[in-house]
Structure 1
């Protein structure tokens, strides 16, 4: 059984909106820990960035579209790709790349919990992968209806009930 780490939308622009993601420093530290562990164990790392329409703040090639430099991702070693929809599988080669690498366990981290994390976890399960949602390594912002904490807790409970296995970053052993 093979594992992979999937980092979703940890982009400069998504962390620089006027409203900051909930506990982003802790989430980033947890993701950095998982990256280091994945590298140590030769676990493949996939990182996706959301691409907005031309002239948007996260349009392809713009400074805000770039993945966070703090992740220390390397395009020569890691699989970096772009998406245009919340679901990281939609319109990308992610499914084929994971199957080619014989990945079963897909550890999912990043943002935003209620959009890209949610749709990617559900699709991963539908495609036959075993998604593991790292409960303390995804985040989002407050909305008018719900606080970010409530959104994250709700998605951990909902996704963990039927679509993914929940795990905390400290408990991940690749």
Structure 2
């Protein structure tokens, strides 16, 4: 059984934009810890970034589109994908690449909880992977309807009930 770490949308424009992610520094530190552990155990690291249309703040190649430099991810040490929908599998080679690497356990982290984290967890389960949502390594921003903390807690409960296994950063061993 093989594992991979999937990092979703940890991009400059989303993380350092006008709206700050809930508990961003702790989430970033947890993801950095998981990257180090994955490298140590030679577990594949996949980073997916959301690409907006030309002219948008997160258009391909723009400063905001870039992965956070603090993650130290590039094509030499990770598989990088671009997506244009919340589901990281939609219209990408992600499933094919994970299947080719015989990945079963897919550890999911990143942003934004109620969009890309949610839809990717659900899709991973539907595609036959075993998604593990790292409960303390995903985040979002407050919305007019709900504070980010409530969104995160709700999604951990919902996704953990039917779509993914919940695990905390400290318990990930790959």
TM-score, normalised to structure 2, is 0.99
Structure 1 portions without partners, runs of 5+:
none
| 1:62 matched residue in structure 2 | 62
Confirm whether residue 19 of structure 1 aligns to residue 28 of structure 2: no
Is 1:123 aligned with 2:118? no
Q: Which residue of 2 aligns with 1:71?
A: 71
Indicate the residue corresponding to 2:141 in structure 1: 141
Q: Does 1:37 align with 2:20?
A: no
Deviation at 1:74, TM superposition (A): 2.5
Segment of structure 1 superposing worse, 11-20 or 94-103 = 11-20
Q: Deviations over 1:97-152 (max 9, x none)?
A: 00000000000000000000000000000000000000000000000000000000
- The residue that corresponds to 1:108 in the other structure is 108
SS for the counterpart of 2:64 is helix
**Take 1:72 and 1:18, find their aligned partners in 2: how far apart are those partners?**
23
- Residue in structure 1 matched with residue 172 of structure 2 by the alignment: 172
Q: How many Å separate the matches in 2 of 1:137 and 1:36?
A: 14
CA shift for structure 1 position 17:
2.2
After superposition, give the CA deviation of every residue in 1:39-92 in whole Å (9 maximum; x if it has no partner): 000000000000011111000000000000100113123100100000000000
User: 2:99 matched to 1:86?
Assistant: no
CA distance in 1 between partners of 2:28 and 2:123 (Å): 24
The RMSD of aligned alpha carbons is: 0.5
Helix, strand or coil at the partner of 1:80: strand
User: May I ask how many residue pairs the two structures share in their alignment?
Assistant: 174
Structure 2, unpaired ranges of 5+? none
For residues 142-171 of structure 1, give each alpha carbon's deviation from its aligned partner in whole angstroms, at most 9, with x where no partner exists: 000000000000000000000000000000
TM-score, L = length of structure 1: 0.99
Residue 35 of structure 1, CA deviation? 0.2
